[in-house]
Amino acid sequence: MNLKEFTNNPYLLLTPGPLTTTDTVKLAMMKDWCTWDDDYNNIVQGVREKLVQHATKKVDKYSAVLMQGSGTFSVESVIGTVLPNDGKLLVVANGVYGHRIAKISKTLGIDTVVLESGETEELDLNKLTVQLENNPDITHVAIVHCETTTGMLNPIAKVSEIVKRFNRIFIVDAMSSFGGVEMDIDSLQIDYLISSANKCIEGVPGFGFAIVKKEEFEKCKTNARSVSLDLYDQWKTMEEQNGKWRFTSPTHVVRAFAQALKELDEEGGIEKRAARYKNNQKILSEGMRRLNFEPILPEELQSPIITSFYYPKSENFNFSTFYYKLKEKGFVIYPGKVSNLDTFRIGNIGNVYQGDIESLLTAMEESCYWLKLV
């Protein structure tokens, strides 16, 4: 197999991660690294520093800690480490991933309250205020920023204002938004932000990370409910041993992520990447409407990350057939996850540009004619 064959993608991933990466990110994984060697650990330290720099201007107040596994592993490591035994978690849940946080919390034996919200409706912030007002024993509040069940971007600034008014700890699952949506976690008063290598930073799967407010995190030394997912111990080891992981780290993935961070800077940082994603989503949404595919969310609730569309009103539509027809043309989309609606989803993050979205829309139109949807 030659290099071109190795790096050539058979299709464009239009998903919220894993996603299509650049050839240079993939090629970064072609070298082996020793987990104990300073050359590798210096890369880890550089990654940690760069993540904090992308998260806030107040870099002295925060630190980044990396954790093996998928993004959900990092979510569980945060929930299982920062909640004390007498802690109580309120989860604002308006999709699959919010409910997953609640499931993790309950499974760990943490006292958990779920503030339910409709998957396609704007959050009722009054309900959050009432919950915190009436339940002084709630110590922590968690929310998903971009709920990729629907593509909704939750209003974390407004949520934070309420959470901090009642002096609670604020946890944000920014799995699908960090790196693709501008934010300053200090201004937002976020205590713990969680994301993953294979999302808007445009790396590959293998680890996630948390950006933690050091003043709060130092209180969590004895909280962990797991050895492997003890985020505090992982952090202390990285802090005291120059980026060393406690257990075998995904060396190739970390090197690819370091390259992805370099390419984020070369693109112009999060501001420029966010603008590209917003433009992708705008072109996608407008083009899909012309093909009579309606987004399920109003524009003001829609994230620039992934968009959910209703099935077309045609007896000829079958998602599986539609999916494979698009895959033949070089595009992979996502099935829907909304509870009571027939939907599918299209992401536009990763190494994806306006021309790619326009090519997708052409393939969509051709597939619609072939399937007799128009």
> Digits of tens for pLDDT over the chain (374 positions)?
454 555 567 899 999 889 999 999 999 999 999 998 999 999 999 999 999 999 999 999 999 999 999 999 999 999 999 999 999 999 999 999 999 999 999 999 999 999 998 899 999 999 999 999 999 999 999 999 999 999 999 999 999 999 999 999 999 999 999 999 999 999 999 999 999 999 999 999 999 999 999 999 999 999 999 999 999 999 999 999 999 999 999 999 999 999 999 999 999 999 999 999 999 999 999 999 999 999 999 999 999 999 999 999 888 888 999 999 999 999 999 999 888 889 999 999 999 999 999 999 999 999 887 766 65
Task: Decide: 99 and 107 in contact? Cβ < 8 Å.
Answer: no
Instruction: Write the Ramachandran bin of 64: left for phi over 0, alpha for psi from -120 to 50, otherwise beta.
Output: beta
Between CA 329 and CA 158 the distance in angstroms is: 42
Between CA 114 and CA 275 the distance in angstroms is: 34
Please give the backbone phi and psi of residue 318, each rounded to the nearest 5 degrees, phi first.
Answer: -135, 120
* CATH 3.40.640.10 domain position(s) in the chain: 24-266
Within 10 Å of residue 148's Cβ, how many Cβ atoms?
A: 25
Give bridge partners of residue 211 from the DSSP assignment: 64, 193
Report the CATH superfamily, name and number, of domain 269-370: Aspartate Aminotransferase, domain 1 (3.90.1150.10)
For residue 17, the model assigns a pLDDT of: 84
**pTM score:** 0.95
For residue 1, the model assigns a pLDDT of: 46
* CATH 3.90.1150.10 domain position(s) in the chain: 269-370
For residue 340, the model assigns a pLDDT of: 85
End-to-end CA separation in angstroms for the chain: 42
Closest CA to 199 of 221, 181, 223: 181
Task: Give the chain as a 3 state SS string.
Answer: CCHHHHHCCCCEECCCCCCCCCHHHHHHHHCCCCCCCHHHHHHHHHHHHHHHHHHCCCHHHEEEEEEECCHHHHHHHHHHHHCCCCCEEEEEECCHHHHHHHHHHHHCCCEEEEEECCCCCCCCHHHHHHHHHHCCCCCEEEEECEECCCCEECCHHHHHHHHHHCCCEEEEECCCCECCECCCCCCCCCCEEEEECCCCCCCCCCEEEEEEEHHHHHHHCCCCCCCCCCHHHHHHHHHHCCCCCCCCCCHHHHHHHHHHHHHHHHHCHHHHHHHHHHHHHHHHHHHHHHCCCCECCCHHHECCCEEEEECCCCCCCCHHHHHHHHHHCCEECEECCCCCCCEEEEECCCCCCHHHHHHHHHHHHHHHHHCCCC
For residue 368, the model assigns a pLDDT of: 81
Within 10 Å of residue 156's Cβ, how many Cβ atoms?
A: 25
For residue 10, the model assigns a pLDDT of: 84
Residue 140: CB partners within 8 Å, gap ≥ 6? Answer: 82, 83, 87, 88, 89, 90, 168, 169, 170, 171
Question: What's domain 24-266's architecture?
Answer: 3-Layer(aba) Sandwich (3.40)
Between CA 57 and CA 276 the distance in angstroms is: 23
**C-alpha dihedral over 241, 243, 246, 247, to 10 degrees?**
-140
For residue 52, the model assigns a pLDDT of: 98
* The pairing of beta strand 111-116 with beta strand 88-93: parallel
Task: Decide: 196 and 77 in contact? Cβ < 8 Å.
Answer: no
